[in-house]
Structures are given as C-alpha cells and as structure tokens.
Structure 1
Amino acid sequence: MDIALSTWMMIAFVLALGLSAWKMYKFMPTKQLKDDDTTPQAQSELMDLILKIIKGSHGELTEKELHEMVTKHEEFDSEHFWRFNENKLKQLLHIHYIKNPDTKCIKDIHTKLHS
C-alpha cells in the first residue's frame, strides 16, 4: 500500500491545524481575572464612589479634579482599578448622563443628589 505525497501533506496539515487549535484554546483566558474592572459590578462600584465624591463636594468640579479626588479617596482600590484614568471617568459620566437625561454635567449630578 503506497500512500501518495498529497495524502501525507493532508495528514500533516490536519495534525498541524489540530495542534494550533489546541494551543489557541490553552492560551485564551477562560476565567475572569481578579483585577477585571470592565464587569458591570466593578463599574457600578466605581460609579457609586464617583457619586459619593460628587455628593460630598461643592459641586463645581472639573473632570480632572474629580479624577484626582477619586484616585486619592480612601475607598478607591488602586490595585483593582489600575486602569482608571480620565477617559474611563468620562465614559462612566456619559453612561450616567444617558441613564439620567436630566443631568448634563457634574453640577447637575450634584444638584440632583442633594435634592
């Protein structure tokens, strides 16, 4: 029984395809990381902290000042939210503005929290 060269090439291709699929499966993350701050729970926790800081402030905050206050707050977990920056703050504020159409700025959020 003589096997043609094309058959050997097909067998090698299928084996290489199986090996590469197995390697991709092994290296793909299958469980959630401890410091994943993109989950709804983590974003809710961060937004609650932001709202708490806005409520305790004078209301005339810029986004940069709010970012500094959040990162310096004692409840802020810098290991869990190590990717938190001004862009992430802006995203969270825009999500809040969409959910609450009567707020358009930090001062509106402050006013709503005190009413």
Structure 2
Amino acid sequence: MEINTSTWMMIFFVLLLVVSIYKIYAFLPNKPLVDDDTTKESQEELLKIILKVIKESNGELSHSELFMKVQDDDTFNKKRFWRFNQNRLNQLLNYYHLQNIQTNSIKDIYHDLKA
C-alpha cells in the first residue's frame, strides 16, 4: 500500500495544526494573576480604601492629596495595586459619582458618607 503525496501533506498539516494549537493554549493564562487589580473585587477594595481616606480626612482634600494619602494608607497593598495612579483614582471617583448621583466632589462624598 503506497500513500500518495496529498495524503502525506494532509497528515503533516493536521499534525502541525494540533502542535500549534497546543503551543497557543500553553501560553494563554488559565488562572487570574496574584497582582491583577482590574477585577471587580479589586476595584471595590480600592474604592473602599479611597472612601476610608476621604472619611478620615473630613473631605478636605484635593485630588492629588487624596492620591498621596491613599498610597500612604496602611490597608493599601502596594504590590497588588502597583498600577494605581492619578488617572485610576479619577476613574474610581467618577464611578462613585455615577453610582451616587448626589455627589459631585470629594466634599460631597464626605457628606454622603457621614450621613
């Protein structure tokens, strides 16, 4: 029994296709990373820290002061939130403002937390 050229080509094609799919699968992340701070739980934890800092400072903060105090807070995990920056703070504050329409500033957030 002799196998013709097109059959050999099909066998090698299927074999190499299986190998290439396995190589792609091996490099895809299968579990969440330890320092992944983009999950919903991480965002909520970071927002809790921000709200705690606002409440402790009586709402008398600018955005840059809030950013520095959040980074200096004891509950802030610097290894986990290594990507935290001023833009991320602004995004989380905007998210809070969207959830609580009556707030427009850090002072409003403080009065909302106090009530």
In the TM superposition, residue 5 of structure 1 has moved relative to its aligned partner by 2.1
In the TM superposition, residue 102 of structure 1 has moved relative to its aligned partner by 0.8
Q: Which runs of 4+ in 1 moved over 4 A?
A: none
* Runs of at least 5 residues in structure 2 that lack an aligned partner in the other structure: none
Quote the residue 2:114 is aligned against: 114
Aligned with 2:23: secondary structure?
helix
Aligned with 2:83: secondary structure?
coil
CA distance in 1: counterparts of 2:63 and 2:15, whole angstroms: 55
Aligned ranges for residues 62-73 of structure 1 at < 5 Å?
62-73=62-73
In the TM superposition, residue 3 of structure 1 has moved relative to its aligned partner by 2.5
Quote the residue 1:60 is aligned against: 60
Identity %: 50
Residue correspondences, number: 115
TM-score, normalised on structure 1? Answer: 0.89
Quote the residue 2:45 is aligned against: 45
In the TM superposition, residue 60 of structure 1 has moved relative to its aligned partner by 3.4
Encode CA deviations 1:40-97: one digit per residue, 9 max, x unaligned: 2221111111001011114232222211111111211101111111121112111111
CA distance in 2: counterparts of 1:69 and 1:24, whole angstroms: 43
CA distance in 2: counterparts of 1:109 and 1:39, whole angstroms: 23
TM-score, normalised on structure 2? Answer: 0.89
Quote the residue 2:32 is aligned against: 32
